[in-house]
């Protein structure tokens, strides 16, 4: 029977020994949440720098997605009202990239709806990347679906340095939320990106009905892939989706999830993402002290984002550097 204490777990992590799922579940069972918050905060302070990483995204293609992800308003299986358009012009993408660079944002990601890009769409994205790279110094990332290794080679050659593909949730829970593609296909895409020399980014959505045990499983799956950038979205139930009546995530559940992710992933950048507008500023501040050390700023895909200038104030208030 396991009998690990917070002190023992902290010593293991500080000595670069990763703790197991079973040990994390034992810590959850044996300790009050505030003690786990403090534990995670100490890990953050000792394992991460005080430099806060900001990135931004553009919804470069919207709607008509053939996948049946229950949370997504862009799916053709959803009755939500969303904007529908093909890939935006290079001029429009550049305009937002430049705006974000001028605000001190480090990264800019092109995001498209759909299972994967067509050959023509891939060429359009590469052209957009070339156009932005010629005119800005911002790092460019992409989230373009389940691509092949050859597709990712083309994107890497165009100038994309990081590829994003969310696992979304625990592998054991994903089939309850989507049946048109699998976790294995997502994992393969991330491995292809690594093979061509890209960095990878992968996270998911908290509050879709998964258990805390499954959140532990989820964080461990990301660790096994050596993911260093992990967006943590909070479900905002959208009318017309299958999860429109899902009970909102509580503040304590969110903060505990951040703590658990930090304990399992001591070296990763845990990133505020979609849905954080549902949190109070005080809760966001607490989350940053516990383990959040990066953020997607500006507008999100299908939910409202946060003002960059306000984010900067919060980042400085919590002792981070830009």
Extract the residue ranges of the chain whose pLDDT is less than 50: 300-303
Residue 129 lies in a domain: yes
Residue 18 lies in a domain: no
- Residue 178's pLDDT is 97
Average pLDDT over all residues of the chain: 94
- Residue 35's pLDDT is 97
The pTM for the full model equals 0.94
β-bridge pairing 229-234 and 292-296: unpaired
Strand pairing partners for 142?
110, 163
Residue 247 lies in a domain: yes
Say how many domains are in the chain: 1
- Residue 309's pLDDT is 85
Identify whether the C-beta of residue 134 lies closer than 8 Å to the C-beta of residue 106.
no
- Nearest-angstrom CA–CA distance, 256 and 311: 22
- Residue 308's pLDDT is 84
Identify whether the C-beta of residue 290 lies closer than 8 Å to the C-beta of residue 254.
no
* Residue 245 neighbours by CB distance under 10 Å: 8
- Residue 304's pLDDT is 52
- Residue 1's pLDDT is 55
CATH of the domain at 280: 3.20.20.70
Residue 199 lies in a domain: yes
Residue 7 lies in a domain: no
Residue 106 lies in a domain: yes
Residue 2 lies in a domain: no
Residue 155 lies in a domain: yes
- Residue 295's pLDDT is 95
- Please give the residue range of the domain that contains residue 134: 51-317
């Amino acid at each position: 029977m396991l009998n690990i204490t917070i002190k023992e777990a902290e010593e293991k992590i500080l000595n670069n020994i990763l703790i197991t799922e079973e040990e994390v579940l034992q810590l959850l069972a044996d300790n009050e949440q505030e003690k786990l918050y403090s534990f995670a905060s100490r890990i953050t302070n000792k394992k991460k720098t005080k430099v806060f990483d900001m990135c931004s995204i553009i919804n470069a293609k919207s709607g008509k997605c053939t996948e049946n992800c229950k949370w997504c308003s862009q799916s053709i299986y959803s009755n939500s009202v969303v904007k529908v358009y093909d890939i935006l012009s290079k001029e429009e993408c550049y305009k937002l990239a430049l705006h974000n660079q001028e605000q001190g944002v480090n990264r800019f990601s092109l995001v498209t709806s759909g299972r994967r890009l067509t050959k023509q769409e891939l060429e359009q994205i590469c052209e957009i990347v070339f156009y932005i790279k010629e005119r800005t110094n911002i790092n460019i990332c992409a989230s373009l679906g389940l691509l092949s290794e050859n597709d990712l080679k083309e994107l890497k050659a165009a100038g994309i340095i990081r590829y994003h593909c969310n696992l979304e949730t625990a592998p054991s829970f994903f089939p309850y939320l989507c049946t048109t593609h699998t976790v294995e296909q997502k994992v393969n895409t991330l491995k292809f990106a690594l093979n061509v020399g890209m960095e990878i980014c992968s996270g998911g959505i908290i509050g879709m009905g998964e258990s805390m045990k499954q959140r532990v499983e989820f964080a461990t799956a990301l660790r096994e892939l050596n993911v260093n950038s992990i967006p943590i979205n909070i479900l905002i139930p959208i009318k017309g989706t299958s999860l429109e009546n899902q009970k909102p995530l509580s503040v304590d559940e969110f903060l505990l999830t951040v703590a658990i992710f930090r304990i399992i992933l001591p070296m990763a950048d845990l990133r505020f993402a979609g849905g954080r507008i549902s949190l109070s500023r005080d809760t966001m501040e607490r989350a940053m002290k516990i383990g959040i050390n990066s953020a997607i700023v500006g507008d999100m895909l299908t939910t409202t984002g946060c003002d960059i200038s306000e984010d900067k104030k919060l980042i400085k208030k919590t002792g981070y550097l830009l």
